[in-house]
Amino acid sequence: MKKLFRPHLTFVLLGALLTFSSCDDHGDEPHDHEEELITTLTLTMTPQNGGTPITATFRDLDGDGGQPPVMTPTQVVLNANTHYITRITVLDESNGTEDITTEIRAEGDEHEFFFVPSPADLLTVTKTDRDSKDLPIGLEGTIHTGTAKTGTLRVVLKHQPGLKNATSTITTGETDADVTFNIQVQ
């Protein structure tokens, strides 16, 4: 009687099974990108007719919980009835400094910033940069201030893979950052 069980064949078959079951091609599926840790968001506003740029920075190096975030300055002072050119920089400073701005721009068709002034007539924000589908991103834009008053500007970065379109809102997708700056227009 011949032996049907051969130990070396068992190992070859087991190895082949593990190899083929772990090499699945997911080329057509959407990629799930791991969320980046955003510790720092800086909004730079430069008067359109020249002048000194004004920066507003939110920094929370230990993320949610722990120490409270630091806002610099605690109140952003802007001139009334003025146009500002804006630029947002996003960093992860939890372990060195990683500039996430470039990644947001490269994946612009999955990201959008939303701006919510309160009161609504405090200022007007216009997004000027576009993704590959000609939809707004919000890393670059303009702010036009109104008359003298105080309020806040909420800046929200949404991650919207497969969801971003011309009617996307602040409720579409997942929130990557949500920062509120105190604003005084004088």
* 119 preceded by a cis bond (ω within 30 of 0): yes
pLDDT at 177: 95
* Interior angle at CA 27, CA 176 and CA 101, nearest 5: 30
Residue 146: phi and psi, rounded to 5, are -100, -140
Residue 10: phi and psi, rounded to 5, are -60, -45
Instruction: Give yes or no for a contact between 177 and 156, defined as CB atoms under 8 angstroms apart.
Output: yes
pTM of the model: 0.80
Candidate CATH numbers 3.30.1380, 1.10.3470, 2.60.40, 1.10.260; the one for domain 36-185? 2.60.40
pLDDT at 118: 98
User: Rounded CA gap, 153 and 157, in Å?
Assistant: 13
Nearest to 176 by CA among 101, 68, 75: 101
pLDDT at 5: 47
Residue 108: phi and psi, rounded to 5, are -60, -30
Per-residue pLDDT of the chain (186 residues; tens, 9 = 90+): 444 444 443 333 334 333 333 333 333 334 444 556 899 999 999 999 899 999 999 999 987 778 899 999 999 999 999 999 999 999 999 888 999 999 999 999 999 999 999 999 999 999 999 999 999 999 999 999 999 999 999 999 999 999 999 999 999 999 999 999 999 999
Token pair of 152 as six digits: 């806040």
Strands in the chain per DSSP E: 40-47, 54-59, 70-72, 76-78, 83-92, 98-99, 111-118, 123-127, 140-145, 149-159, 174-185
pLDDT at 108: 96
